[in-house]
A and B are shown apart, each in its own frame.
Chain A
Amino acid sequence: MELRGMNERIRALRQQSVSTQPRLSLERADLETDAYEKYEGCVSIPELRALVFRHLMENKTLCINEGELIVGEKGDGPQAAPTFPELCCHTLEDMQIMNDRELISFKVSDADMELQKNKIIPFWEKRSIRNKILNAVSPQWRDCYESGIFTEFMEQRGPGHTVGSENLFKKGFLDYQQEINEAIAALDFQNDPEALSKKEELNAMSICCDAMVILGKRYEALARKEAASCSDPQRKSELLQIAENCAVVPAHRPQTFWQAIQMYWFVHLGVTTELNPWDAYSPGRLDQHLNPYYQNDVQQGILDDAKALELLECLWVKFNNQPAPPKVGITLKESSTYTDFANINTGGITADGEDGVNPVSYLILDCMDEMRLLQPSSNVQISRKTPQRFLKRACEISRKGWGQPAFYNTEEIIQELMNAGKTIEDARKGGTSGCVETGAFGNEAYILTGYFNLPKIFEITLHNGLDPVSGKQLGLPCGSAEDFHTYEQLMEAYQKQIEHFVHIKVDGSNRIESIYAKYMPVPFLSIITNDCISRGKDYNAGGTRYNTSYIQGVGIGTITDSLAAIKKHVYEEKNLSMKELMDALHANFEGYEAVRHLLLNCSPKYGNDDDAADNIMKEVFGIYQKCVTGRPNMRGGQYRINMLPTTCHVYFGEVMLASPDGRLAGRPLSEGISPVQGRDSQGPTAVIRSAAKMDHISTGGTLLNQKFTPSNVAGEKGLDNMAHLIRSYFNLDGHHIQFNVVDRQTLLEAQKHPEDYKDLIVRVAGYSDFFHNLSRALQDEIINRTEQSF
């Protein structure tokens, strides 16, 4: 299909977005401190947070970038990242690191450095939520946290993963305020002991509505002012239209496609200014929300596809203008991304169960394709009802090799949600956000609490509860490797240790949730998430319709292969003693090459549709899933699991010795539910079959990466086959799949480190073979031809 290509406006905006050096902006911290100094102690905590929000919206620097059609920045301009000292207060050293490091730097001005030193640190250092959390958790929790048993998302960032619903496009903030006032009027001070706290929360929400109306008016005024001094007649009229739009939204519901997008963007700014839920705010089913506006405007003759696409592209630039809030301490040093987790779902089905693909869906695909930005992350939901045309168009973009869009299984998501107690309609309106996490959009606070290191717990199991890396006794003393005489005894001990660490993790998460509920309400986010208004309760305190806490299991491939190797060689074939294995692990296999060969090359491996390994995966998954699912959280909901790592499998590998799957000490664990890197040798159908043996429906999302060489997906036939693979995985109830199309660089790496790329199959000539099996000359030839286009 012919692509229109970005027009000049979009090209310039995109260029500005990707070439501007990210920097820190202390304006938010500065204004917030003023507001605290003024209001703290005079009002309730929710009202205080709302007054801070209003103060920010009244006073923040506004910005209309040259040529843009959608206005509003989180900082004072593109790539300016505000800080959130109420959550975590950067030290001067943190700021120096941010400023100086080569990768992912944030420039800090001298004036901001001074401000941090003289105003922000003195005020916030001891008040930050992070400080409260570290004081509130148990010493055990801290030890586990520091040893890499698990991580904690909320230690530096607000509860994230929240997604808007159709409400955003149907109501203005004056409409919400009306609802809030009615809720206040209906409070029962005769009988309801919570009436006062409800009133405080509702008052706070009402103040936030005012704040949004103020922000809109300020942008309207700025646009008019710029229009007055603008000499270019075209830009002048655009600025006037922007002013008109801001006179409507966010105070009132949008009237046009353009206003609907501007409305969303104001809401996004509100959510990410109030607190920093990892910028994981997303518009939900954007194609469905925008479609009525698109249809109406086209009918009115005020919109065509080119204009609609341009407006979507302006929105995409806005997402990309917001780098992730920089972290503090160790996490800052490790953190190597500007990317945050806004994620847009396109396709799927409608609330009444019909195919959800509409003309806007196709425009969004075009937009993804043209923009190729890391933010917003884009995915497609594929249901049985999704037209093949839509799926193939998405495949066509995906095979270009930049990882987007990812593919999600609508029917599976609906089953996940219903299994977790959502109504059918809420389930159909749901989707995935962040990486792959499932939620009921607009109705749920589904909070990620941290990654959970399954292979590390096994390492501790083999050492009688001792962590051999930190030297601390973190686990239960329930036997050492050589005490387990059968596989069943080993698994029993592993299960006990998993239960022990889940217990510690949940204990900490519950304390942290309580801290957020008590000290860090989010009245703005509560306005737009059902049913906080009707319950008079904050989003962070269980006010939403559904309240889930997720714990993310990491390293299922590594743990499966480790257990499979031990089962086979130590317990079944008895050609390796547990002592020799432990000696080999402690020696990082130095002097034990034959043992490593046995573990690495002569053992069942997950990802090859081999039941000997896959049944172990199911067993471990089952233990973990049952251990977590159903535990009550502090917000009236339950804990559930996801199986995803983001990049945590790298960190989790660093805190470990060598493992019984043949992995060397410090090397990354397997990622998501993908097989251990390079260990899948039977091709993608076998990977898919193995992965599908996991009970995806009992999770809140799983992540599968599939690697391809370009020739595997070339031509019309390649597209067809990609589509077939996706549909097949989804027939088997898989949750998510994304494709990496291997580039020249990867092949060069594979040539250097063949052991890491044993799964890499390349099309040789009329047939395919493993890359590592080819002669050097042939490898070179294939590398040379891997630059081909489709």
Chain B
Amino acid sequence: MKIPTFINIQRYSIHDGQGIRTTVFFKGCPLRCVWCHNPESQSFQRQLLFDSSKCCVCGACIASCPQSALSITEGTLRTNWSQCNACDCDFRCEAACIHEARFLSGEQISLEKLLKLLLRDRTFYEESGGGVTLSGGEVMVQDMDYLLQLLQKLKQEEISVNIDTCGYCSYECLEQVLPYVDTFLYDMKAFSDEIHRQYTGVSNQLILDNLKRLSQGGAKINLRIPVICEVNGSDEEMGRMIAFVKEHVRLTQVNLLPYHRAGSDKWERLGMKGETFCPPSPQRMEELKQLWLDAGIGPVYIGG
């Protein structure tokens, strides 16, 4: 069993399903969505984020770096990322920084420890009809042994589990987890394969196929669509998604998630470059919502 890496375990999560939940963010994703709000969720490795606004250029990190990847140039701290070898995932510069400008993302958590953590809020789940949400990154490409054992244990403890997935995995994996999952929060980013490839780096054939099969398998599915006007926000593209869903999928609800730029500084902190788009207007969101409703699919929520 390979122990996965996690970005965060967020307790009192109240916006991704019924009741009070704990959301588990796995690290690592097969997609490379250019608008990703949490770009640190893409790599399976532990990563360092550097927030230059908190750096007071004290230079303590420079002394700690065995690779000489850090320097002060023109009064600002520079990182030569190509020289950084992550100190074997230890990132000594992080411990050296007392101003919290350096932040490590990614921690391996054993199954036993994770379960203990998830059970801590049991009272709240039981009182509110909540539970655990597995999210990411991507859950379905993590170690299946770990995932199945986690799901079985949670089921034993009578805790409801939702899985938030991009659907880019073998159907066998989905089939295996199906008995333990209350609701799938299933992402759909575009219907046209060309668009999907361009913005996420992968084809969506597998994703659409899995969605269809999961629905046939009797899963409860909430469809989640990030709305980016330049990518999937046209009437035509939305229309194609609607037509597919109408023909092949039974949904419990649709969430249209308006694109926002909140993640943009995270790309910078990772030393990566993301792409920014225009957030859709509330009016456009209403129009798109109406398209779904007109097709007889609902309920539809904006945001979520």
With A724-B20, A766-B15, A766-B304 as given contacts, are A689 and B265 in contact (CB-CB < 8 Å)? no
Pair A609/B127 contact, Cβ less than 8 Å: no
Pair A766/B12 contact, Cβ less than 8 Å: no
Pair A689/B120 contact, Cβ less than 8 Å: yes
Task: List B contacts of A773 (CB < 8 A).
Answer: 51
With A593-B98, A725-B20, A767-B37 as given contacts, are A685 and B12 in contact (CB-CB < 8 Å)? yes
Q: Quick one: CB contact mask for B107-144 with A, threshold 8 Å, 1 for yes?
A: 00000000000001101100110100000000000000
Q: Quick one: CB contact mask for B97-110 with A, threshold 8 Å, 1 for yes?
A: 01010000000000
Query: How many Å lie between the Cα of A601 and that of B51 in the bound state?
Result: 17
Query: How many Å lie between the Cα of A516 and that of B265 in the bound state?
Result: 65
Task: List A contacts of B53 (CB < 8 A).
Answer: 775-776
Pair A682/B15 contact, Cβ less than 8 Å: no
Shortest A593–chain B CB gap in Å is 6
Query: How many Å lie between the Cα of A764 and that of B124 in the bound state?
Result: 23
With A685-B20, A765-B262, A776-B53 as given contacts, are A731 and B15 in contact (CB-CB < 8 Å)? no
Task: List B contacts of A597 (CB < 8 A).
Answer: 98
Pair A727/B14 contact, Cβ less than 8 Å: no
Closest to A684 in B: B12
Pair B124/A609 contact, Cβ less than 8 Å: no
A717 lies within 8 A of chain B by Cβ: yes
Closest to B265 in A: A775
With A593-B98, A725-B20, A731-B127 as given contacts, are A766 and B303 in contact (CB-CB < 8 Å)? yes
B155 lies within 8 A of chain A by Cβ: no
With A685-B11, A766-B257, A775-B53 as given contacts, are A732 and B123 in contact (CB-CB < 8 Å)? yes
Pair B260/A724 contact, Cβ less than 8 Å: no
Closest to A688 in B: B124
With A721-B14, A765-B260, A765-B262 as given contacts, are A609 and B304 in contact (CB-CB < 8 Å)? no
With A683-B11, A686-B11, A767-B37 as given contacts, are A724 and B128 in contact (CB-CB < 8 Å)? yes
Task: List A contacts of B257 (CB < 8 A).
Answer: 766
Query: How many Å lie between the Cα of A724 and that of B19 in the bound state?
Result: 8
Q: Say which residue of A683, A717, A721, A763 sits within 8 Å of B10 (CB atoms).
A: A683
Pair B14/A712 contact, Cβ less than 8 Å: yes
Pair B100/A683 contact, Cβ less than 8 Å: no
A594 lies within 8 A of chain B by Cβ: yes
Pair A685/B124 contact, Cβ less than 8 Å: yes
Q: Quick one: CB contact mask for B237-262 with A, threshold 8 Å, 1 for yes?
A: 00000000000000000000110101
A15 lies within 8 A of chain B by Cβ: no
Task: List A contacts of B304 (CB < 8 A).
Answer: 766
Q: Say which residue of A720, A727, A766, A774 sits within 8 Å of B260 (CB atoms).
A: A766
Task: List A contacts of B20 (CB < 8 A).
Answer: 685, 721, 724-725, 728
Pair B127/A724 contact, Cβ less than 8 Å: yes
Q: Which of A769-784 contact B (CB under 8 A)?
A: 769, 773-776, 778
Q: Quick one: CB contact mask for A587-602 with B, threshold 8 Å, 1 for yes?
A: 0000001100100010
Closest to A597 in B: B98
Task: List B contacts of A720 (CB < 8 A).
Answer: 19, 128
Closest to B123 in A: A728
Query: How many Å lie between the Cα of A686 and that of B257 in the bound state?
Result: 28
Shortest B24–chain A CB gap in Å is 14
Shortest B43–chain A CB gap in Å is 19
Pair B100/A728 contact, Cβ less than 8 Å: no
Which of B13, B19, B53, B123: most chain A Cβ within 10 A?
A: B123
Closest to B99 in A: A597
Shortest A392–chain B CB gap in Å is 13
Q: Quick one: CB contact mask for A732-746 with B, threshold 8 Å, 1 for yes?
A: 100000000000000
Task: List B contacts of A767 (CB < 8 A).
Answer: 15, 37, 262
Task: List A contacts of B265 (CB < 8 A).
Answer: 774-775, 778
Shortest B131–chain A CB gap in Å is 13
Q: Quick one: CB contact mask for B260-294 with A, threshold 8 Å, 1 for yes?
A: 10101100000000000000000000000000000
Closest to B37 in A: A767
Task: List B contacts of A684 (CB < 8 A).
Answer: 12
Task: List A contacts of B128 (CB < 8 A).
Answer: 720-721, 724, 728
Shortest A331–chain B CB gap in Å is 40
Task: List B contacts of A423 (CB < 8 A).
Answer: none
A768 lies within 8 A of chain B by Cβ: yes
Pair A778/B14 contact, Cβ less than 8 Å: no
Query: How many Å lie between the Cα of A169 and that of B111 in the bound state?
Result: 61
Shortest B301–chain A CB gap in Å is 11
Closest to A769 in B: B262
Shortest B98–chain A CB gap in Å is 4
Task: List B contacts of A688 (CB < 8 A).
Answer: 124
With A594-B98, A765-B260 as given contacts, are A728 and B10 in contact (CB-CB < 8 Å)? no
Q: Say which residue of B13, B15, B120, B124 sits within 8 Å of A724 (CB atoms).
A: B124
Closest to A598 in B: B98
Task: List B contacts of A728 (CB < 8 A).
Answer: 20, 123-124, 127-128
Closest to B129 in A: A724
Pair A689/B121 contact, Cβ less than 8 Å: yes
Closest to B12 in A: A683
Q: Which of A672-727 contact B (CB under 8 A)?
A: 682-686, 688-689, 712, 717-718, 720-721, 724-725, 727
Query: How many Å lie between the Cα of A536 and that of B238 in the bound state?
Result: 84
Closest to A602 in B: B95
Closest to A686 in B: B11
Query: How many Å lie between the Cα of A422 and that of B127 in the bound state?
Result: 31
Closest to B60 in A: A594
Task: List A contacts of B51 (CB < 8 A).
Answer: 773
Closest to A763 in B: B15
Query: How many Å lie between the Cα of A687 and that of B127 in the bound state?
Result: 17
Q: Which of B1-44 contact A (CB under 8 A)?
A: 10-15, 19-20, 37
Q: Quick one: CB contact mask for A330-357 with B, threshold 8 Å, 1 for yes?
A: 0000000000000000000000000000
Shortest B229–chain A CB gap in Å is 16
Shortest A781–chain B CB gap in Å is 9
Pair A778/B124 contact, Cβ less than 8 Å: no
Q: Which of B25-80 contact A (CB under 8 A)?
A: 37, 51, 53
Shortest A785–chain B CB gap in Å is 12
Query: How many Å lie between the Cα of A765 and that of B100 in the bound state?
Result: 24
Which of A609, A727, A765: most chain B Cβ within 10 A?
A: A765
Shortest B267–chain A CB gap in Å is 11
Shortest A712–chain B CB gap in Å is 7
Q: Which of A558-611 contact B (CB under 8 A)?
A: 593-594, 597, 601, 609
Query: How many Å lie between the Cα of A165 and that of B127 in the bound state?
Result: 34
Query: How many Å lie between the Cα of A544 and that of B296 in the bound state?
Result: 70
Q: Which of B85-101 contact A (CB under 8 A)?
A: 98, 100
Closest to A754 in B: B54
Query: How many Å lie between the Cα of A765 and that of B51 in the bound state?
Result: 21
Q: Say which residue of A718, A731, A763, A774 sits within 8 Å of B123 (CB atoms).
A: A731
Query: How many Å lie between the Cα of A689 and that of B10 in the bound state?
Result: 15
Shortest B281–chain A CB gap in Å is 14
Shortest A722–chain B CB gap in Å is 10
Pair B19/A764 contact, Cβ less than 8 Å: no
Shortest A681–chain B CB gap in Å is 10
Shortest B278–chain A CB gap in Å is 14
Pair B11/A682 contact, Cβ less than 8 Å: yes
Task: List A contacts of B130 (CB < 8 A).
Answer: 724
Query: How many Å lie between the Cα of A629 and that of B12 in the bound state?
Result: 36
Q: Say which residue of A601, A685, A778 sits within 8 Å of B121 (CB atoms).
A: A685
Closest to A730 in B: B127
Task: List A contacts of B123 (CB < 8 A).
Answer: 728, 731-732
Q: B interface vs A, CB < 8 Å?
A: 10-15, 19-20, 37, 51, 53, 98, 100, 120-121, 123-124, 127-128, 130, 257-258, 260, 262, 264-265, 303-304
| 5 A-B pairs with least C-beta separation | A597-B98, A724-B128, A683-B12, A765-B260, A775-B265
9 other contacts beyond A683-B10, A774-B262, with CB at 8 A cut-off?
A609-B120, A685-B124, A721-B20, A724-B20, A727-B127, A765-B258, A766-B37, A766-B257, A766-B303
- CB-defined A-B contacts under 8 Å, sample of 14: A686-B120, A724-B20, A728-B123, A731-B123, A764-B262, A765-B260, A766-B303, A767-B262, A768-B10, A768-B13, A768-B15, A774-B265, A775-B265, A776-B53
